Chains A and B, each alone.
Chain A
Amino acid sequence: MFGIDSLTGPAYSAAIVGLVLGEAMVLYVGYGGLTRAVGTRITDAIGGRP
């Protein structure tokens, strides 16, 4: 799974840690962008415009 099955030992472990680190960074940037893009609209939709 995730293309790392052929790896073994420390290389496999490093790949696992790297994938989790990569996902965390992608999520941080992705959700950050999403928040900037639609955050205000969602807040307005929930709370109504002041």
Chain B
Amino acid sequence: MMELFGMSATLIVLFVGFGLMIGVLFGFFGMGGSFLVTPALLVMGYPSRVAVGSGLAFVFGTSVIATLKHRDLGQVDYKLGVSMIIGTTIGIEVGKELVLHLETLGLAGNIISVTYVVLLGGIGLFVTYESLKGRSGGVDHDVDADAEVDADDIPDIAKKIQSYRVPPMLTLRGGIEVSLWMVLAVAFVTGLLSGFLGVGGGFIRMPALFYLIGVPVPIAVGTDLFEIVFSGGIGSFLYAQSGGVDLSIVAPLLAGSALGARVGSAATSLVDEEGIKIYFGLMLLGGATAVAVRQVGNAYGIDVLNTVSFALIIGSALLVSGAVVYSSVQALREERNPAPSTAD
């Protein structure tokens, strides 16, 4: 078997292919780049710290590329972003220590898996439900840079939180005033998720910035991306110290996802995201089921369930990224070769 950097060529091709699919999803939906990476690595038998640490390093690389693409949007609130880094760093450190501690108890894989099932399943149900009702579920990263946010659009809960004036107060873009402690709390929770699960945390941070702090959506999107670069970078650094980042996993995943992200973002101009979003929700449910199946397999010693779990993760990603690519090709062909109109 041919080897490169100590890895079999088959495994490298598998990671590049998986990264390609994840990249298409991230480029198209603007989120979800890391949901399936850590569970896939856990199912493949990597230790928890390697699965989470390598997932975080992958998120870091992906967010650097996304930031380079969006660097001219000017939607980042740097004061908010820098303030959040403190809470994020503490959260990641606590999350990492939690993983390492659970590893010594032999419980890390189980607890991380259960958290994934609850989180992926919950978000998957929400996105699927919203899609079925014809509403936009999840987070849209592709927003109008010049969009003005009406003060009436600030959610009630954010207004309530803004009314607690515990000093020091931060003045954010758009004249929003919020207690620094609230910002640190949101950053801590998202950092904890990043450090514990190896995800960017954008799917929690973005809604939290909007619903809890009242940050306008375009600025929440830009600041979220800024934060993911830092949370991914800091998380990778912390996990690398305990040997948790495996470059032979990260490098091929990133190579595939960077290409896939270009395909996915090109597809956004051809295909309506709402038409495919239900598949995204189903994919998350597929991921949650895969992790649950693996847990059952481990608990009862049924090896074949590990294979089923792996097939579910790869199959879910393949189904949705395939739907994006197929719909794009169809749309492109229809656009280039419009069907001749028929006269009655």
Which residues of A pack against B, CB within 8 Å? 1-2, 9-10, 12-14, 16-17, 19-21, 23-25, 27-28, 31, 35, 43, 46-50
Contacts and interface: CB of A to CB of B under 8 A. Distances in A.
B151 to A, nearest CB: 38
Interface string B235-246: 011101100010
B322 interface: no
Contacts of A49: 336
B333 A48 contact: yes
A16 B237 CA distance: 7
Contacts of B332: 43, 46-47
Contact of A24 (B65, B237, B238, B337): B65
25 contacts: A1-B6, A9-B241, A10-B241, A12-B240, A13-B237, A13-B238, A13-B241, A14-B237, A16-B236, A16-B237, A17-B57, A17-B60, A17-B237, A20-B245, A21-B60, A24-B60, A24-B61, A25-B68, A28-B64, A28-B258, A31-B258, A47-B333, A47-B335, A47-B337, A48-B336
A2 B254 CA distance: 16
A29 B291 CA distance: 36
Contacts of A48: 333, 336-337
A30 to B, nearest CB: 8
B57 A16 contact: yes
B251 interface: yes
B180 interface: no
Given A1-B5, A12-B241, A35-B262, A19 B65 contact: no
Nearest to B53: A16
B221 interface: no
A31 B335 contact: no
Contact of B247 (A9, A14, A16): A16
A27 B336 contact: no
Contacts of B170: none
A27 B60 contact: no
Nearest to B258: A27
A24 B61 CA distance: 5
B250 interface: yes
Given A17-B236, A20-B254, 15 more contacts: A10-B237, A17-B60, A20-B236, A20-B250, A21-B60, A23-B251, A27-B254, A28-B258, A35-B262, A46-B332, A47-B335, A47-B336, A47-B337, A48-B333, A49-B336
Contacts of A19: 247
Nearest to B247: A2
Q: Give me the 4 closest cross-chain CB pairs, A-B, nearest first.
A: A47-B332, A13-B240, A27-B258, A24-B64
A13 B247 CA distance: 11
Contacts of A43: 332
B233 interface: yes
B259 interface: yes
Given A9-B241, A27-B255, A50 B61 contact: no
